[in-house]
Amino acid sequence: MSVDEDSRWLEWVTKQFESIAGDDKEINLEEFKTALKVKESFFAERFFALFDSDGSSSISLDELLKALDLLIHGSETDKLKFLFQVYDVDGSGSIDPDELKTVLKSCLRESAISLPEEKLDDLTLALFESADKDNSGSITFEELKAELEAFPEVMENLTISAANWLKPPDLDQKKRQTPRYLTRSYWHKNSRKLLFLCMYTCLNVLLFVGAMLYHRPGGGWYMVAKGCGQCLNFNCTFVMVLMLRRCLTWLRATWVVRVLPLDQNILLHQIVGCAILGFSVVHTAAHVFNFVRLSESGDYSVWEYLLTTSPGIGWVKGSASVTGVVLQFLICLMVLCSSTFVRRSGHFEVFYWSHLSYIWVWALLVVHCANFWKWFVVPGLVFLLEKIVGIAISRMGGLYIVEVSLLPSKVTHLVLRRPQFFHFKPGDYVYINIPVIAKYEWHPFTISSAPEQPDTLWLHIRSMGQWTNRLYEYFRQPVSETVSPRQLATSLRKRRQLMQTQEELFNSADDNGAVASNEDDAVELTMYRQNGCHSGVAPIQGPGEPLSDALGPAERGEAPPLRDISAKLGETHRFCNIKCYIDGPYGTPTRQIFASEHAVLIGAGIGITPFASILQSIMYRYRRRKQNCPNCNYSWCENIKDSEMKLRKVDFIWINRDQKSFEWFVSLLTKLEMDQADEEPEGRFLEMHMYMTSALSKNDMKAIGLQMALDLLAKKEKRDSITGLRTRTQPGRPEWGKVFQKLSEENKGKVHVFYCGAPALAKVIKAQCEHFGFNFYKENF
């Protein structure tokens, strides 16, 4: 940070102090917490004690500014001494293990990380043993300094500025970079969309001008109304064309995808919807003004022109005005209920049901305008055909939900019996209807299983709205004690099949490779199985393998007694036989991934769902290239490009707010890590990058000790303490500039970035992609 930023920060501190301090011009501990917005008591008390130089249990402005001035203008040693004093709770001149544990425990609370007491002890010992060079049982200042010097990124952060030591949240503002619409890079990356929008705008202008000139004898307002009406004829049809999902899915597999922006059909649909609202408002207003003019010299009043059929305006019994008023109301309602604050605030049903009024809009448009049917007939027939095909497919055969797992973060995992002729690609989505939840509602969700998985379809659904919450609560209810004989027979049959599978797997463990070949692999496999069981996460099976091969210890031959399995199934996992219907699959931009050489998958929160299918499919194809030496444990992957997959490198970035959000997906990621070959010609094929935004980053003094301890323990155990993966979970948010710079330096081919998550983050990532020349794809449906 610059000197100017430091000065502004000191000015902020002074204002905060003056606004809170009383007549005595001093602040106590509680007022100190309020002034600097420090939420953790331990750090607040340590900072206060160090700033209170005279030991008066209060801090004057001079004392505060003197201490902060030392942090700003002091040397590296001065700052290290301050850090040492924070950790040296009893002021003895050294840090003992109990003091270090107290500090790390406060760091965990500050970062919203929950670890068992045993893991906290491991972290404490890892950092203490590394820092205590002379094995004296305490850490001196020189030893702490030497330990910090082993972490260059920490030393770098200590020297940049004092504003990172006691940084108030209000000053942690991100510099938002808006896309530079006039730059060559922006036009190059968005050329198809911009060209399409230019053609769309020109067509509307031509239609508007042509209709105005044709109706010139009617006067100015009449000309404007007719011009807008002609544009509405086109747009009210085109808005439907943009949502012909089956046609668009088919076109994505052709050369058309290289010419038209098919992957942005949702954005274009929204733009056309806004254009319809604008044209309809101007069209209505122009007619009102024209009616005012006519009423001054005619036999009818303005209200009679607007709300009755008496003037005889229109081709169906003079109903143009009345239908126009109803149409204007419906269009405004649809646009309002389609806004982001409605859809994203847990009221998706409002959007869904209001959008179904498009049927009435089209019917009224046919009655309202004599020429609309000419625009509508061909696209309308295609739309109707799509609907008929969708209904036929969804009703064809019996489709049932056969398993349900309730995962952490209120995620519902549905396992559906896959129809025999149902074919999809990684990243595709379907609309699902579950009559027991809502008889007439259809909701879109990404398929999270791989296409290579033959018998089942998976959906992972986060509880974020009314329908998804009803779904979660429905399966959270305990199973009824009273069951029919048929249900009981089905349940017993499934349990026997499960037990038989367990016994077969247990007896053949040595043959199918379930037994680890060395001590490290044994520990790793044991940890993986334990994570799959004790975390309550339903393991995600690998592509192309039976469900039993992916189950945790309770299902893979290391099972506890059956009564324990039943208890577990009753709480978070159950077998069922619930009727449902699906419409799809429909394609998304992620279909481009296998044509990429270097793919970067970025998911935020539940936005990881599309990549579950993609990662499983990628690793399925990767396994076919994997070679194993028959005489040893050495494995490698042949780097062969084929028609199915051109990928040379995959980077997977997952951003979550808290620790719990990682739990439901960890089992799959663990398996993907274990599937990686030992050696590869061009480095690791799949690299994972995990970020936890609630955790304090390494440039925050309150997190330095914790992050050092996590790094040391991860190197020792070869496993991250937060997720249990080999990949270390990084604290805070990604520094996208540095992340993308590193990706560009790998030279693995053209980089394609695929994103699914919050729209705000999409803008940031897209701007970075434009800067580095990467192709950007956003998941939309």
Give the model confidence (pLDDT) of 294-352 as tens digits: 887 777 888 888 888 888 888 888 888 889 999 999 999 999 988 877 776 667 778 87
Phi, psi of 630 (to 5 degrees): -70, -15
Looking at residue 429, its pLDDT comes to 87
Top-confidence residue, 256 or 73: 256
On the question of pLDDT at 637 being above 60, the answer is no
DSSP assigned state of 263: G
Q: Using pLDDT thresholds of 50, 70 and 90, give the confidence band for residue 65.
A: confident
Rounded Cα distance, 291 and 395, in Å:
51
Residue 76 has pLDDT above 60, yes or no: yes
What would the mean pLDDT of 700-704 be, rounded to a whole number? 72
Q: How far apart are CA 138 and CA 656, in angstroms?
A: 36
Q: What is the pLDDT of residue 158?
A: 55
Report the pLDDT value the prediction gives residue 234, as an integer from 0 to 100. Answer: 94
Position 175 pLDDT exceeds 50: no
Q: Quick one: pLDDT at residue 558? A: 35
Please tell me the predicted confidence (pLDDT) of residue 433: 87
Window from 79-83, 434-438, 664-668 with minimum mean pLDDT? 664-668
Q: What is the pLDDT of residues 378-403, one digit of tens each?
A: 999 999 998 888 888 777 656 888 99
Closest to 685 in 3D by CA, of 632, 646, 658: 646
- The per-residue b/e assignment along 68-77, b for 16 or more CB within 10 angstroms, e otherwise, is beebbeeeee
pLDDT at residue 483 in the model: 43
**Cα dist from 368 to 31, 281, 319, 371, whole Å:** 68, 15, 7, 9
Mean pLDDT of the 266-282 span: 92
| Overall size of the chain counted in residues | 781
Q: C-alpha distances in angstroms, 550 versus 396, 544, 614, 671?
A: 30, 11, 17, 9
**What average pLDDT score do residues 402-406 get?**
89
Of residues 588 and 4, which shows the higher confidence score? 588
Is the model's pLDDT at 179 over the cut of 60?
no
Going by pLDDT thresholds of 50, 70 and 90, the confidence category of residue 507 is very low
Per-residue pLDDT, 377: 92
Band of pLDDT at residue 698, cut at 50, 70 and 90: low
The strand pairing partners of 432, in sequence order, are: 443, 582
For Cα atoms 679, 684, 686, give the angle at the middle one, nearest 5 degrees.
135
Close Cβ partners of 61 (under 8 Å, ≥ 6 residues apart): 14, 17, 18, 21, 25
* Residue 167: half-sphere exposure toward Cβ, Cα within 13 Å: 20
Which of 591, 622, 678, 692 is CA-nearest to residue 115? 692
pLDDT reading at 745 higher than 50: yes
Alpha helices in 551-641 (DSSP H): 562-572, 609-625
d(CA 322, CA 41): 67
- The count of other CB atoms within 10 Å of the CB of residue 424 is 20
Better pLDDT: 55 or 94? 94
**Per-residue model confidence as pLDDT tens digits over 123-156:** 888 888 888 888 888 888 888 888 877 776 666 5
Strands (E), 328-422: 400-407, 411-417
Q: What is the pLDDT of residues 518-534, one digit of tens each?
A: 333 333 333 333 333 33
CA 68 to chain centre: 39
Residue 235: closest CA among 369, 333, 403: 369
| Cβ burial, residue 482 (10 Å; 0-12/13-18/19+) | exposed
**Residue 539 gets which letter from DSSP?**
P
**Residue labelled with tokens 């974020």:** 464
DSSP string for residues in 624-677: HHEEE-TTSS-EEE-----SS---SEEEEEEEESSGGGGGGGHHHHHHHHHHS-
Contact 691, 729 (CB under 8 A): yes
Is the pLDDT at 544 greater than 60? The verdict is no
What confidence score (pLDDT) does residue 33 get?
72
- Span 191-241, pLDDT tens digits: 788 888 999 999 999 999 999 999 888 888 889 999 999 999 999 999 999
Instruction: Give the tokens for residue 443.
Output: 């909701």
pLDDT confidence tier of residue 375, bands split at 50, 70 and 90:
very high
Q: What are phi and psi of 448, to 5 degrees?
A: -100, -5
Please tell me the distance from the alpha carbon of residue 22 to that of residue 217, in angstroms, as a whole number.
Answer: 78
Confidence category of residue 462, pLDDT binned at 50, 70, 90: confident
Picking from 127, 125, 13, 124, the residue whose alpha carbon sits closest to that of residue 64 is: 13
Nearest 5 degrees, angle CA 157-CA 159-CA 160?
A: 70
Give whole-number Cα distances, 634 to 517, 670, 676, 679, in Å.
Answer: 11, 20, 12, 8
| Residue 681 phi, psi (nearest 5) | -55, -35
Contacts of 362 (CB under 8 A, 6+ apart): 236, 240, 376, 380
- Find out whether 139 and 95 touch, Cβ atoms under 8 Å: yes
Please check the confidence at residue 505 and state whether its pLDDT lies above 80.
no
Strand partners, 368: none
The rounded distance, in Å, linking the Cα atoms of 28 and 182 is: 54
Q: How far is Cα 163 from Cα 721, in angstroms, rounded to an integer?
A: 29
Give the confidence band of 631 by pLDDT, cuts at 50, 70, 90: low
Q: Which residue has the tokens 């207003």?
A: 285
The pLDDT confidence band at residue 275, using thresholds 50, 70 and 90, is very high
* pLDDT at 442 exceeding the cut of 80: yes
Measure the CA–CA gap between 190 and 775, rounded to whole angstroms. 10
Who has greater pLDDT, 659 or 555?
A: 659
Classified as helix, coil or strand, 31 is helix
